[in-house]
Structure 1
Amino acid sequence: MSVRSALLVAGFVLAALNLRPAIAGVSPLLDEIMSDVGLSPAGGGAITTVMVVCLGVFGPVAPLLARRVGLDRTLLAGLIVLAAGVALRGLGGALVLYLGSALAATAIAVMNVSMPGIVKHHFPSRINLLTGVYVSGVVAGSAAVSAVVIPMEHATGYGWRGVSALLAVPALLAALLWLPQALSEQAGPQNGPRPYGIVLRSRVTWYVTGLMGLQSLTFYVMLAWLPTIFLDAGLPADQAGYLLSLTNLVQVAASLTVPVLAGRRPSQVSYVVGAGALTVFGYLGVLLAPATVPWLWMIVLGLGQGASFALALLIITLRPADPAAVTALSAVAQSAGYVVAALGPLLFGLLREVSGGWSVPLTAGLGVLAVQILVGWFAGRPATFR
């Protein structure tokens, strides 16, 4: 492998690792953030909601940037803006916290949409493998930050503000590795988006969008509230963080293997339905016995959610014929999908306030999963994107 190829792969992997820490790093510190800034449970859930809304609203910016400056330079810009947003949110009160979170999430939105197109463009003969690498990088970054933020806070004595700001460092390092690729890129028509009219008229688009949105909703609900659920069940804070990290680590294994296997078959229906069923089982465990063998629920939940996310992105990358079409489909599916997903953490927090417990919100989550499995059955069927 040449130095250029090694930098391409390393930069790609490190960029993927930066796509979730800015969001996942909030959850283990949420009680401390709420106490310091003066937020209610709904206000605490709104941090994740604001970020997921931005993932949806600003995703369509990516194809426009890609047409003008190229996919590689679009990814570089996303990494730089991400670092700035993460550093900003610990510098003030609630308003600055929300603004910094929104800026970081806007950058992640652009990167989210760009990455499937980059896979199609740079690795056309290894889409299944590199999709697995990409998704596993995303969940590995989430798992790592969930595990280390509390120990890092204790070791450094910086508090949540300082630890949150340190998450800008990996994004800057990824930007440095990706810089040679961005500087050498020749922007051209192949990087432009496919007309959105064609995308919006395809039934495939809406099946994939439904799968992307519903699996994201059930994922972000757990990402935002799982440690708090375990705390309310009587588990200590560090163990709650480790359990969240465990489910994310299991997602790495699922996301590495499932795309490779599912991509070899014309239909991904059986994989999508199986992944949804595993997620249902994990939700049931958290609902019925959160403090009893919680590690088992986290393993099952991680397998289901990791596979669901990987399959949604694999289908986005497989269906269109070229990188520009992939980027356009990715923009529609991820933008609309994340707008749907943004409702999850906020409504989950509101249901907890109204009901006084976790039974009602978790039961509602099971209902969402039933719809996810149904939509996923249509999304996973063989189809040609036109």
Structure 2
Amino acid sequence: MTASEIAVPSPPEAKTSTSARIILGASLVLIALNLRPLFSSASALLPEIQAQLALSSFAASLLTTLPVVCLGLFSPFAARFAGRIGSERTMLVVLVLLAIGTSLRGLSSIFMLFVGTALAGACIAIGNVLLPALVKRDFPHRTALMTGLYTMALCAGAASAAGLTLPLERAFGGSMNAALAIWALPAAVVALIWLPQVILTRGQTVRTRFTVSGLWRDRLAWNVTLFMGFQSALAYCVFGWLVPILRERGLDGVTAGAAVSVSVMVQAASCLVVPHLAIKGRNQSALNVALCVIAVGALLGLLFAPLWTVWFWAVLQGIGQGGLIAAAMTVIVLRSRDSHVASHLSGMAQCVGYLLAASGPLLVGFIHSWTGSFAGSAVLFAVLGSIAAVNGWLAGRPHYVGAISRQADAVS
């Protein structure tokens, strides 16, 4: 049994006006926009980072893996922090520290590069967990729309960083540090935009202790978790290594970054469509498997197909991977009876799932270091996709996880 304090709005009328809901929804989307540039901005400049800081292939693998590990390690703390200080305040702290951590990467120091990456990764972990719970709590009748919008924003943030980081580096006169640190600015701006939500909910939040039991023993919860983990492993292979893969195949840095940016932008469009398809169907099993096949098949095309077809495979990979991200987020909500179970299932899926996902980019780096080529990664992609497909099929069944949430004592 696990227990946590979940911040719930005391007067439900506080957020019922149309304008207030639109502002809240837009703010959540803007927050999501800032939860992925950390990954793809470093990927776009990975050869430059290795050259300027004398990073080995092993150290580069650790750099691409570190934020994913942080997603797993820190996601369990999200519900605890939200219970202590409220979801809105927790999100504000996340945004401020995310801006600080991202800016630290702009210092000419290997140590600060890793510290900043870890701090930002921890903040993203907590933000990742809070978003589905806030959607379940504040938009119970607009779940598909809001899930699609914020997962689309996640992809759009990654695409922006993948496509713009290298041109920014050149615009800053070849300053790798400035190109990495500039991504702190949007997070700081969104923190200011989110601040009114904190002010408006001050004194309107009652902290109530809820116990959520049976989650970690539930088979369906583990299917959801493994689906999240192994599709995420594929996603972070793309975020961390697709630009270097395409550059090694012969594309120049700007073109490789543009191809990845196009792929991730297509992910954004796919994220908007898939939740609606998922909810309309009797279950999501076939959809989850189909998306796994598309995502892996396109990755193999990017590895081996002629370079003149790279744009086709980039678009196809975006359709599959973006759909998988949205499907994984959607099943967390659909398999939960209420927002309290959703919060804990989200924490479980992202804690265990992202620790599993960290193996993806790390193994790609090991394979490249061992073989001198990215070709061997094809086997890894196929294995990750197969495991994701099996658990996606099982997670798509129309049942709730067996966890039960109960209200205990109110916290004064």
User: TM range, normalised to the smaller chain?
Assistant: over 0.9
- Equivalences for residues 153-302 of structure 1 within 5 A: 153-157=169-173, 159-185=175-201, 186-189=204-207, 194-195=211-212, 197-289=213-305, 291-302=307-318
- Equivalences for residues 143-162 of structure 1 within 5 A: 143-157=159-173, 159-162=175-178
Structure 1 unmatched runs, 5+: none
Q: How many residues are treated as equivalent by the alignment?
A: 384
Which residue identity is paired with 1:354? W
Per the alignment, residue 83 of structure 1 pairs with 99
Which residue identity is paired with 2:198? A
Distance, in Å, in 1 between the alignment partners of 2:22 and 2:147 is 17
Which residue identity is paired with 1:106? A
Q: Is the 8 A contact 1:67 1:187 kept in 2?
A: no
Say whether 1:56 aligns with 2:72: yes
Higher helix share: 1
Higher strand share: 2
Residue 4 of structure 1 and its aligned partner are, at CA, apart by 2.9
Helix, strand or coil at the partner of 1:263: helix
Q: Is the 8 A contact 1:252 1:306 kept in 2?
A: yes
Change (3 A) 1:351 1:290: farther
Helix, strand or coil at the partner of 1:357: coil
Residue 290 of structure 1 and its aligned partner are, at CA, apart by 5.3
Say whether 1:315 aligns with 2:341: no
Residue 194 of structure 1 and its aligned partner are, at CA, apart by 4.6
Which residue identity is paired with 1:187? T
Residue 73 of structure 1 and its aligned partner are, at CA, apart by 1.6
Helix, strand or coil at the partner of 1:188: strand
Q: Is the 8 A contact 1:67 1:193 kept in 2?
A: no
The 10-residue stretch of structure 1 (24-33 or 178-187) with the greater mean CA deviation from structure 2: 178-187
Which residue identity is paired with 1:280? V
Q: Is the 8 A contact 1:11 1:178 kept in 2?
A: yes
Residue 3 of structure 1 and its aligned partner are, at CA, apart by 4.5
Which residue identity is paired with 1:127? T
The 10-residue stretch of structure 1 (96-105 or 287-296) with the greater mean CA deviation from structure 2: 287-296
Distance, in Å, in 2 between the alignment partners of 1:88 and 1:24 is 16
Larger Rg: 2
The 10-residue stretch of structure 1 (177-186 or 130-139) with the greater mean CA deviation from structure 2: 177-186
Q: Quote the RMSD (CA, aligned, Å).
A: 1.5
Distance, in Å, in 2 between the alignment partners of 1:286 and 1:239 is 14
Distance, in Å, in 2 between the alignment partners of 1:52 and 1:289 is 29
Which residue identity is paired with 1:188? V
Q: Is the 8 A contact 1:89 1:100 kept in 2?
A: yes
Q: Is the 8 A contact 2:98 2:184 kept in 1?
A: yes
Residue 371 of structure 1 and its aligned partner are, at CA, apart by 1.5
Cα offsets for 1:155-174 (capped at 9, x unmatched): 23261111211111111111
- Equivalences for residues 125-144 of structure 1 within 5 A: 125-144=141-160
The 10-residue stretch of structure 1 (121-130 or 354-363) with the greater mean CA deviation from structure 2: 354-363
Per the alignment, residue 62 of structure 2 pairs with 46
Q: Is the 8 A contact 2:263 2:315 kept in 1?
A: yes
Cα offsets for 1:165-188 (capped at 9, x unmatched): 111111111111111112222333
Change (3 A) 1:199 1:47: same
Distance, in Å, in 2 between the alignment partners of 1:9 and 1:131 is 10
Which residue identity is paired with 1:64? R
Which residue identity is paired with 2:237? V
Change (3 A) 1:141 1:194: farther
Residue 240 of structure 1 and its aligned partner are, at CA, apart by 0.3
Residue 264 of structure 1 and its aligned partner are, at CA, apart by 2.1
Say whether 1:344 aligns with 2:380: no
The 10-residue stretch of structure 1 (262-271 or 106-115) with the greater mean CA deviation from structure 2: 262-271
Say whether 1:67 aligns with 2:80: no
Per the alignment, residue 9 of structure 1 pairs with 25
The 10-residue stretch of structure 1 (315-324 or 46-55) with the greater mean CA deviation from structure 2: 315-324
Change (3 A) 1:290 1:71: farther
Cα offsets for 1:258-287 (capped at 9, x unmatched): 101211234101110110110121022023
TM score, norm. by length of structure 1: 0.96
TM score, norm. by length of structure 2: 0.90
Q: Is the 8 A contact 2:262 2:315 kept in 1?
A: yes
Alignment partner of 2:128 out of 95, 112, 123: 112
Distance, in Å, in 2 between the alignment partners of 1:3 and 1:91 is 41
Percent identity over the alignment?
38
The 10-residue stretch of structure 1 (99-108 or 68-77) with the greater mean CA deviation from structure 2: 68-77
Change (3 A) 1:139 1:193: farther
Distance, in Å, in 1 between the alignment partners of 2:116 and 2:341 is 31
Q: Is the 8 A contact 1:272 1:377 kept in 2?
A: yes
Per the alignment, residue 21 of structure 1 pairs with 37
Q: Which runs of 4+ in 1 moved over 6 A?
A: none
Structure 2 unmatched runs, 5+: 1-16, 403-412
